[in-house]
Amino acid sequence: MKQYNVGLVGVGAVGTEMIKVLKDRKFPCGKVQVFASRERDEEILGETYHVLKAGEESFKGLDIVLFAGKTDVAIQLRDAVVRAGAKMIDNSRAFRQDPDVPLVVPQVNPEDLDWNHGVIANPNCTTAIMLEAVAPLHRAKKLKRLVAATYQAASGAGAPGLAELEQQIQDYAAGRPLTVKAFQHQLTCNLIPHIDKFDEENWYTLEELKMRNESRKMLHLPDLMLSCTCVRVPVARAHSESLNLEFEDEITPDEAREILRAAKGVKVVDDPLNGGYPMPLDATGRYEVLAGRIRQDISRADKRGLEMFVSGDQLLRGAALNAVEIAETLIERGLV
């Protein structure tokens, strides 16, 4: 089997998860070179890597470069990766709405990889988790409108967010004052309906607007009606989403379950009388998006509406796994 030289820019939570996924999926790596803001030796998952400082000449000889760092770093190094002849798979928001850059989840729109010009964008984690379950239904019944509410884990804000939640839980149990830094308010014993900045024209947050704009691009539905409210919840890892779906064609819950059971990357968990429904605890560490609580929308007189609840690991499905699957799909389609 041909092997591919892989670069990784960024060694935080997502970067570490990318290395784990490369190993777990036995990706055909020749060498793996890790880059960051400074040169050093660093132990990652029990193995010592010589981390190099990322620069304009860093990417020669590499076939694929996974970016798990900041937006400004991706923008700064994009041309260097393309000049080196490598494929850049970026997890930041830098290029998601660039019309010359495909925004891809391989189970949703792999065909968009065919027109890449060296750069492929990873969608926001909430979008990736949602569309994994929504896209198969759309292909069968033509999605018309979607209303979502998300329940997003503390680790979605990175290592500082998770650390703050864990510390707050300990302090709360011990009766100590709680420190608030990573979030706008105390997260323990609370919900925060505020993720990212507010757009002061419509008062949606950027996280909410990302879900709309990215879904429109990936589903090739520029006029898709989509509205959502994104909420931070005191959960360590894995995001959940409540989805109200309207289709052009009639669809029943049984049809939806059949479609989703046949869909790659989705596991139907829908046995509510016996406690079977998606939960973030069960989604943590899993590759699949869990989908359940599938039922007809009783606010409608027709059969074009469904309710559904999904949970997915945002570090895997929403980031690291998706990036590696993009690399695998590039290889399968002969694009690298």
Tens digits of residue pLDDT in 139-195: 999 999 999 999 999 999 988 999 999 999 999 999 999 999 999 999 999 999 999
Residues 68-125 have pLDDT tens digits of 989 999 999 999 999 999 999 999 999 999 999 999 999 999 999 999 999 999 999 9
Q: Give residue 173's pLDDT.
A: 97
Known catalytic membership, residue 125: yes
Could you tell me what percent of the chain has a pLDDT over 70?
100
Per-residue pLDDT at 333: 98
* pLDDT tens digits, 253-267: 999 999 999 999 999
Q: Name the pTM for this structure.
A: 0.96
Q: At 271, give phi and psi (nearest 5°).
A: -135, 65
Instruction: Say if CB 230 and CB 224 are below 8 A apart.
Output: no
Residue 1 has a pLDDT of: 82
Question: Is 228 one of the annotated active-site residues of the chain?
Answer: no
Q: Per-residue pLDDT averaged across 222-248, rounded?
A: 98
Bridge pairing between strands 64-67 and 29-36: unpaired
Could you give the strand order of the β-sheet that contains 225-232, starting from the edge strand earlier in sequence? 225-232, 143-152, 239-247, 305-312, 289-296, 266-268
Residue 12: its pLDDT value, please? 86
- Among 10-14, 134-138, 201-205, 299-303, the minimum mean pLDDT is found in 10-14
Place 272 in a pLDDT band, splitting at 50, 70 and 90.
Answer: very high
Q: For domain 127-314, which CATH number applies: 3.40.50.2300, 3.40.50.280, 3.10.20.440, 3.30.360.10? A: 3.30.360.10
Architecture of domain 4-123+319-332: 3-Layer(aba) Sandwich (3.40)
**Candidate list 138, 228, 230, 239, residue with the active-site label:** 239
Helix, strand counts (H, E) of the chain: 8, 13
For residue 13, name the pLDDT band (cuts at 50, 70, 90). Answer: confident
pLDDT for 9 equals 97
Residue 217 confidence class, pLDDT cut points 50, 70, 90: very high
Tokens representing 98 are 């660039």
4-123+319-332 and 127-314: same fold?
no
CB atoms near residue 203 (< 10 Å): 8
Between CA 327 and CA 304 the distance in angstroms is: 36
Q: Look at residue 24 and tell me whether its pLDDT is greater than 90.
A: yes
Most confident segment among 3-17, 127-141, 153-167: 127-141
pLDDT at 159: 85
Catalytic residue among 29, 50, 125, 220: 125
Residue 52 pLDDT: 97
The domain spans of the chain are 4-123+319-332, 127-314
What is the DSSP secondary-structure string of 202-261?
T--BHHHHHHHHHHHHHHT-TT-EEEEEEEE-S-SS-EEEEEEEEESS---HHHHHHHHH
Token readout for 164 is 């703050």
**Can you tell me the mean pLDDT for 125-137?**
98
